[in-house]
Structure 1
């Protein structure tokens, strides 16, 4: 049993602990239920919840949010256009952003899914900035996509 100041009060029955908590107009909270004997603390639980939510908000604001950028390539995209897209992907990777690369298929192009997958694999091979593949090439209704991230 621990009081609200952090002092250890010793081992006591749950009824005694509740009685002490009610006298101080505070709550009895079980901190370590698996310990032998279980550890309880007298505290203002509402105040504790408020402090925890405040701490969570501060920690969440300190987290770095990683954006995922998207690049779309057509089935018949020419070499120069691929070079431009490659430069964009490399710029995003150097900034530390993830990149989702999609190759989309229209109409009769959907009959040549093996070529589309090969085109996407070839595009990934020409990227010179070091990266890791977060999501392998995956088929979706409009074509194929993959997600790559910069190597840390």
Structure 2
């Protein structure tokens, strides 16, 4: 939908297809007659489909219409979920307890609906043992398979190895709820 609606005198067509405020088709009539009808009812004539032949105009309260449009747009923005990427960094020779702490943090991020980027940093000659980093990445992925899917498998980029995990979709949870409802019925 366009933000710049033509209203009343701004409409340039000679004839318009008029739709009443309750949605009833009033037919194709001259613009002057449509404007007079709008004045009689105390409403505005708004061009809702300018590309149609002839353009479609509707009788409505333009102020109220704009208010409703803004309200819908605000609601749509509120419902959008912004997914951010949280990064978990570790070295290839990490201790087991430290590893579990990193897994716990990643689990928290995934439950919040964020993506998790695992970065294993190699220093000096450690890069020659990239297989250790890959084993560590796969172990990390395995720990989180219940709540995540792998978006990007372990890959060496410079002196780092990265893996990206995404949370399992809420649709799977919804499917489980639907199954439960069907079983109850």
Which interval holds the TM-score relative to the shorter structure? Answer: 0.5 to 0.7
- Please provide the CA RMSD for this pair: 3.7
Residues 1:126 and 2:143 are matched in the alignment: yes
Contact 2:45 2:57 survives alignment (8 Å):
no
Residues 1:12 and 2:3 are matched in the alignment: no
How far 1:124 moved relative to its partner? 0.8
Q: Which runs of 5+ in 2 are unaligned?
A: 1-17, 173-185
Please, which of 143, 152, 157 is the counterpart of residue 136 of structure 1?
Answer: 152
Please, which of 75, 83, 89 is the counterpart of residue 92 of structure 2?
Answer: 75
- The verdict on how the C-alpha distance between 1:56 and 1:28 changes in structure 2, with shifts beyond 3 A counting, is closer
Contact 2:86 2:114 survives alignment (8 Å):
yes
Contact 1:73 1:101 survives alignment (8 Å):
no
Matched pairs, number? 149
- Summarize the alignment of residues 32-47 of structure 1 with structure 2, pairs less than 5 Å apart: 33=51, 39-47=56-64
Taking structure 2 as the reference length, the TM-score comes to 0.56
Cα shift readout 1:50-69 (whole Å, capped 9, x = no counterpart): 22111222343355666654
Residues 1:145 and 2:163 are matched in the alignment: yes
Contact 2:117 2:164 survives alignment (8 Å):
yes
Q: Which has the higher contact order (CA 8 A, sep 6+)?
A: 1
Please, which of 53, 60, 64 is the counterpart of residue 77 of structure 2?
Answer: 60
Structure-2 separation of matches of 1:89 and 1:3 = 56
Taking structure 1 as the reference length, the TM-score comes to 0.65
Which residue matches 1:100?
116
How far 1:145 moved relative to its partner? 3.4
Q: Which runs of 5+ in 1 are unaligned?
A: none
Structure-2 separation of matches of 1:68 and 1:80 = 24
Contact 2:21 2:60 survives alignment (8 Å):
yes
How far 1:102 moved relative to its partner? 1.9
